[in-house]
Amino acid sequence: MKNSKVLLIYTGGTIGMKEEEIKKSLKPFNFNQITEEVPELNKINCRIDAISFDPPIDSSDINITVWEEIGDNIYKNYHKYDGFVVLHGTDTMSYTACALSFMFQNLDKPIILTGSQLPIGQVRTDGKENLITSIEIASAKKNNKSVINEVAIYFEYQLFRGNRTTKVSSQHFDAFMSYNHPSLAEAGVNIRYNSNSFLKTNDQGFQYNFGFDPRIHVVFFYPGILIKEITQAILSSSSNVIILNSYGSGNLPINEILYSFIKEQSKGNKIFLNVSQCPSGSTEQNMYENGDNLKKAGVIGVRDMTIEAVIVKSMFLINKFPKDKIKFIENFNFNIAGEVT
């Protein structure tokens, strides 16, 4: 008898590809026969079942419908398995990890996302190690309880909180970083868990929430940007959530037209969020005059959340509170799933 049961969910991505011997082209392989492709999995004290999306979904095609399909597959099987491993393309993996972290609150078992930079059928693939260790972590227990109880990304020997990650490389095997939160575990000769960085659950019990509204407007600032074009784009947007992708600690150009516009729009239904272009550090609107002016105009600093987390959290909350700006802001400032320090 195997001690743990893990459900493998293949959504798509490089990791699930195998080269056909005759055509020499890549095609998805059957994950129900995963132990034939990766026989090392037989040595893990764990039963592995698999679900595959048909057809597989390219990472760049991921959308809110796919998030909900992944979530529904996990929720349907939640009490049947001890952990879940979601195989996913790397380009949008951090966004999906954020979505799942907001959908599944107060987990008592792990949801681990992983993938690879090279197909699992290639000689130098990073996919085998990522898959094997992800399953090992997903099945790991201590005192008959799961060691990890949150949504995480495992990649190149590091386990990170999913909603703290950013993809930083399209070429290197260590493709993800978590700049503002320490790793949950590091895989070497042994897997070393950093329990001090684990997510603390609350007493509200396990919850499954779904629903996202993708109407989010992001403004990326750069020197010389035309303020008039920004204001026109915001006015014509159907979104009530405007994410200002600012410089450094949350600074934007000193421009009275921009400040007056934000102040006026903030009196209505528009919600302005300030997230830094820097992947490391925090948005601190009190630090400089430019940032303080934004705060006075009604802009909300997001502290040390990633841009991915800010976007997905906004989509999640605007769907939940479509006409209640106060509730949106209250919940946005609340730490839902360890996405902010």
**Which are the catalytic amino acids?**
14
Tokens encoding 157: 């020997």
Q: Is 50 helix (H, G, I), strand (E, B) or coil?
A: strand
DSSP-assigned beta bridge partners for residue 276: 246
Residue in 242, 236, 301, 228 with CA at minimum distance from that of residue 270? 242
Residue in 139, 152, 158, 130 with CA at minimum distance from that of residue 43? 139
CB 199 within 8 A of CB 337: yes
- Helix runs in the chain, H state only: 34-37, 64-76, 93-103, 127-139, 227-236, 256-266, 289-297, 307-320, 325-332
Please, what sign has the CA dihedral across residues 29, 33, 39, 40?
Answer: positive
Residue in 81, 87, 11, 86 with CA at minimum distance from that of residue 47? 81
Residue in 301, 283, 98, 314 with CA at minimum distance from that of residue 217? 314
